[in-house]
Chains A and B, each alone.
Chain A
Amino acid sequence: MASFKPTRIQVYPKLGEKVTQDTLYWKNYKAPVQIKEFGAITSIDFSPLAPHTYAVTASTRVHIYGPFSQEPVKTFTRFKDTAYSGRFRSDGQLLVAGCEDSAVRLFDVSGRVAIRMFKGHTKAVHVADFTSHGYQILTGSDDYTCKLWDIPNSAELTSYKEHTDYIRCGITSKLNRDLFFTGSYDHTLKLFDARVDKSVMNMDHGQPVESLLLYPSEGLLVSAGGRYVKVWDLLKGGQPLVSLKNHHKTVTSLCLGSNGQRLLSASLDRHVKVYSTTNYKVVHNFDYAASILSLGLAPDDESIVVGMTNGILSIKHKRTPEDSKGAVQQKRQPAYRIFVKGKNYVPKQEDYLVSKPVRQYLAKYDKLLRKFNVSKALDEAMEQWTRLRKSEIPMAVIKELDRRGTLKNALAGRDEKELCQLLSFVIMNLVDTRFTATLTTMAEMLLDIYQSTVGMSSLVDRQLLRLQELLDKETEYQQELMEVLGMLDVLFASAHPRKEVTLPGRDVCLCSIVVHLPILPCGYL
């Protein structure tokens, strides 16, 4: 006697992203903390020392936030105009910031008033950074110059005027005190050596450069500008290594994560993308509410801080094991010990093992199907659907009933509420191509059976109207798709050199279509 074969639930290939290690890693963050700043957040910089506070530059202020604080632990407000590029020194004691009023201010992190002020630029200073030994400051300005300043006597050391447009980004080498890079809106990146009076390396990015990033080893330089992120090999004299085009708007900020294993880029298109630095493929993607201007990642990826154009600072903290543990403990059944009773007994050598016959566990709808209770089985499957929102289960049962030729029996004799549920299921899943064929039959049967009751219940009528609306929409949509398909066919046909001779009549027809075809915009597809 063969046992009952349970209904096979069709496993459909998962649509959308695949779950990889990376998605698991980058999804393991808590819900973001959002803080409203006074204006667009242009810069985020983490202190290199624990407890890794971070400076957020927005409007005329620089706020310093603690790692878990929701409010700024320190605020620098002595700016006459919009502040830019608040950066910590490598010891975390000093902070430098540029300003729209062309002055560069140096703050003691514990103080309040600027301890030095560097004046010499004629236009807004968007770039300010400490050199590696910490005694000099690099600045870049909209007056096309970049300068090195000495901190102790606040004097200008050198000035380079090589760029032909605004300098909007710059970075100093952490290994060599004399080297620094600047990127400008004239599409170029330049490497300067403080010991010589002109740039020593020149790279063409192709778009206005918005952000620069050096690898810890300083063999590779990453630049962002336009929609592109480019990686340059410095050891090969500034040869381009990769060009990434994964954003559809300007990339504004770059940052390294996971100890240099991952590269993050933020863009005005509201996305943060995570790349693997081994093959430069996108491994994860974050969505944000507004265009992103600045991005910061705490050491060990403890938190992701994103500043947006609407002045909202979004902070995501990593989920700690303790958080998840708490959730599990809540779920645990109190009678767990009873379930495992005797199951963890390890047989001794002299024990004679009597294997129990394997009991076949059937789902409730399968048990009902085995007894040919078709209506009840459908009810049960529908209940599972409402509980779990797994359309596969009722679909499999409906298919099984259809195969048995008893679907009509199962659908008949329903009251208003049940009928509404069935109809809502049809409406929700009808346009899913995987289910369309079966649900069409089911919808036809429903209409056949309940034709006479139309107009007797407002609930059912509303559902039927919804169904009609859906079908109208769907046919329209399909029609549009067919049109696009036709256009594409024609485009492909004209793109390929024709080898075989087709019927002359058809040829003429094709030509006339080609003539009248409007040029498709790229975004259309």
Chain B
Amino acid sequence: MGEFKVHRVRFFDYMPSAIRTMAFNSQTERLAVARADGAVEIFNFNDNFFQEKVIPGQDGRAIEALCWVGHRLFSAGLNGEITEYDLENLRPQYTVDAYGGPIWTISSNSQGTQLAVGCEDGTVKIFAILEERIQFQRNLNRHKGRIISLCWHPSSAQIAAGMTDMITIYDAETGQATRRLLVDRAMGASKNKEVVVWSVGYLSDHTIISGDSAGKVQIWNGLTGTLVRTYLVTKWDVLVLSVSKDESSVIAGTSEGTVIQFQFISSTLDQHDKEWVRTRTFRNHSHDVSALAHTDTAVVSGGMDTQLVVRPLLDKVEKNTQESALRKIAFPHRSLVGCAKKAGLLLFQFPDRLELWKLGESEGHGEQHTHTHTLGEDHICCSALSACGGWLAYSTVSSVRLYRIHVMISVSSSLQVPKLPKELRSVHQLCFSSDSSKLFASSCQSSVIVVAVSQQECRYLHTLKHKTVSTMLYRLHLLCASDDGKWLATANTDCEIHIYNLHKMKLHCMVPVYNSCPTTIAIHPVTNNLISVHADQQIFEFSLVQKEYTQWSRRLQTQGLLSLWLERDTPITHITFNPKNPDHIILHDTYMFCIIDQSLPFPELNAVLWNQMTLKNLPVSQRIGQSHAFKICKIFQHLMCVSLLEDLSLVVVERPLLDIMSQLPAPVRQKKFAT
């Protein structure tokens, strides 16, 4: 296959934000994760944990709690506002100020009719959930001290509220406090430090479970107000609790990074009276676990160390299958790096800024050329760099900006294009045509806005739309234009891929819908075949001219992909092609990049997928017999982008996890020599 010149780039200082809280919707199997920068991510647990939506954050929006009500997602934060999100257009739909100071917690009742929020001023405020908005109903009786945590009883008649030094049970009808459970402070020196009840759970048998800053998980009888059991699980804080749907298991996350499971079982075999027993300890985090979700089969945890960990419970899933594997999601499932292939420029997207870098010509350093700061407090949701390196566009929730870039030897300048067409307002994805004359922007309701960009002006051309049978219009999350400028492919989160003919400006065809979401798509520059890779790691090739899957794709499907390929747990996020050899498709995930050679046979089902080492040790004459279509290279790890420049050199952007770890604050406890 030959040698490649590789630009190994490690200067992308991407730093994911800490996970603050999460909420799992068991009906739709969607997990909502809120990060410290205010971003909300939606993961689809039915589709290989694919991160299908990202709602960008905002300066000053610190989300403290998330809550699903049916398909609607609410959040509340320290800015004192309750926000409902528009999950189609990925932006806050509206915000309501609770007028109670910072909000620490939000919880809905089981019918989904009322929302309770706990405020800094000690009030629990009840909001009625209406169809399009929420409306303040009333306050429960006010207490001194902030409300840190809330939980409704499943019957919606009571609310348990965790405060400092106590738990209060309210009657939701009258608003009166019916019981106060006093929580012991920590022993020893911190005796006069007040204890904060970080999390409460309220079970249908009126058992209350609390986790507090003294490191205790306590089980209370809510009817009598008595303490049943105390488990001292850590020397630091128990930050979060999560109860399983059947109320037989509770997990608690601690500052040490451990997740501890409690189960409602009989402690000895013969007894029928069950009690809460501490059972398992999971240690998958180095820092605080501040967000937990207990799904039917797994413990999902996240925290300061920014990784989302899905730990299947081995008694609930079949052992030694893909289902039972531990999953760590460290990087976003989309590409944050743009690459101008002709100019050798790299665009790095941060939440609050963009960085443009020029790659070095020879052995030496890349040069940083441009910093683009966003104006306003909204974070960037997408960005694009044209292939010639002359144009740069980015978008926030509310606006789009386009820049003209001049790159000199050592100086560069960027010029904002002043007047943009008014159609370009809120977009989800941006893409330049290969000759940089057009900008495509996916807008609301599955439409694509085509804008002509030139030195003189920026002109709205057309809106591409397809007729749809369903009333729901899904957001386009992938855009891809062909090199010859004739085709545009779009993919939405409902797994549909549409092809538009740009010459006729209308829909050309639709690719048969596959049941897993496409993670990336690309159009081959020579054959005009569409390559799509999906969240379940399947690869398809679709001929745009013949409107059917190609022979190669059919052969691949009949033979099947190797299980080692299918069991990878990070999605393919980028595809490029080799302009010199049309048979080569280059794609990458976090841990490897792979060159697929379409002229070579597929590996047999029992063959070794990663056979580079074997091939290396074979004499040249025997290599051909042994080699197969998948050339996998794992030299580079934690890849953010792999792209092929016009001069056939590879650009590899790495972001080692160790570097991310080293930027985290010191963890509370480190184990050393069995001390």
A binds B: no
Binding site for A on B (CB under 8 A): none
